[in-house]
């Protein structure tokens, strides 16, 4: 497992905020609706996973963000793990 610090507010409606740390298991196969960490064009993103017939969709939990649609031939994409937990310091303000 590994830890990844979240930046941005694309997951705010799932109560995952900028500055939170997600706990990621690289050995779990993602299922529909899991939060995953993906590498997309050399950047790590944390999004909700949906596999479609011809693509993969990564959804934010904030209506201000559009889904990221990954076509099967997209080369600069890799899912590196499934989020299994969130750590938040109680000393930090959220929101």
Query: What is the widest separation between alpha-carbon atoms in the chain?
Result: 44
CB atoms within 10 A of CB 89: 10
What pLDDT, on the 0 to 100 scale, is given for residue 36? 98
- Its pTM stands at 0.88
Q: Alpha-carbon Rg of the chain, whole angstroms?
A: 13
What pLDDT, on the 0 to 100 scale, is given for residue 93? 64
Residues serving a catalytic function are: 10, 47
Q: How far apart are CA 3 and CA 26, in angstroms?
A: 11
Q: How far apart are CA 60 and CA 58, in angstroms?
A: 7
What pLDDT digit, counting tens, does each position of 25-66 carry?
A: 999 999 999 999 999 988 999 999 999 988 999 999 999 999
Q: How far apart are CA 73 and CA 91, in angstroms?
A: 44
Mean pLDDT to the nearest integer, 6-21: 95
What pLDDT, on the 0 to 100 scale, is given for residue 75? 75
The candidate with the shortest Cα–Cα distance to 45, out of 54, 35, 55, 53, is: 35
């Amino acid at each position: 497992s590994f830890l990844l610090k979240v930046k941005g507010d694309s997951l705010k409606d799932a109560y995952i905020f900028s500055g939170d740390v997600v706990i990621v298991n690289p050995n779990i196969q993602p299922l529909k609706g899991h939060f995953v960490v993906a590498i997309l064009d050399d950047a790590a993103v944390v999004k909700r996973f949906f596999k479609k017939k011809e693509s993969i969709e990564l959804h934010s939990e904030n209506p201000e963000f559009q889904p990221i649609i990954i076509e099967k031939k997209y080369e600069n994409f890799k899912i590196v793990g499934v989020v299994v937990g969130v750590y938040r310091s109680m000393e930090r303000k959220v929101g």
